[in-house]
Amino acid sequence: MAAGPFFNPSGSKLMGTGSTEPLIRIFVIAVLVAIVASLGSALFHLSRKTGDSRKLARALTLRVALSVALFILLMIAWHFGLIAPHGLGQGMPGHP
C-alpha cells in the first residue's frame, strides 16, 4: 500500500488531509455561537411583557435542532476519521 494523504499507517481507516480539522473546528464554533444566539433570542422573547410565544417556541426549537444536528455531524466526522479524541483522562486510575 502506498503512503499518501489519505492512508492511515495503522491500516484500518481513511484519514483527512489535516486541513479538514481547522474547518471542522471553525464550523463547530460557529454552530455553538448560533446556539447561544438562539438561546439569547428566546430569553429576549421570554422577558418581554408583550412577548410572542410563537417566537419564543421557534427560537427554542431552532436551538434544539442546531444542537442535535451538531451532535450528529460530530459523530459522522468521528466515524470517518476527520476528528479524533485527544485522550483526556488517559493514565488515570481505572482507565486503560
* Chain position carrying cell 444536528: 69
Per the structure, the count of domains in the chain is 1
* Residue whose C-alpha is closest to residue 38's, from 8, 16, 58, 15: 58
This model's pTM is above 0.75: no
Res 96: pLDDT: 58
Residue 60 falls inside a structural domain: yes
Residue 5 falls inside a structural domain: no
Residue 68 falls inside a structural domain: yes
Residue 9 falls inside a structural domain: no
Give, for all 96 residues of the chain, the pLDDT tens digit: 444 444 444 444 444 455 778 889 999 999 999 999 999 999 999 998 777 789 999 999 999 999 999 999 999 999 998 888 777 766 666 655
* Residue whose C-alpha is closest to residue 54's, from 66, 45, 65: 45
Residue 52 falls inside a structural domain: yes
List the domain range (segments joined by +) for residue 38: 28-79
All three cell numbers of 44: 429576549
Residue 47 falls inside a structural domain: yes
Res 89: pLDDT: 65
Backbone angles phi, psi at 8, to 5 degrees: -95, 120
Residue 15 falls inside a structural domain: no
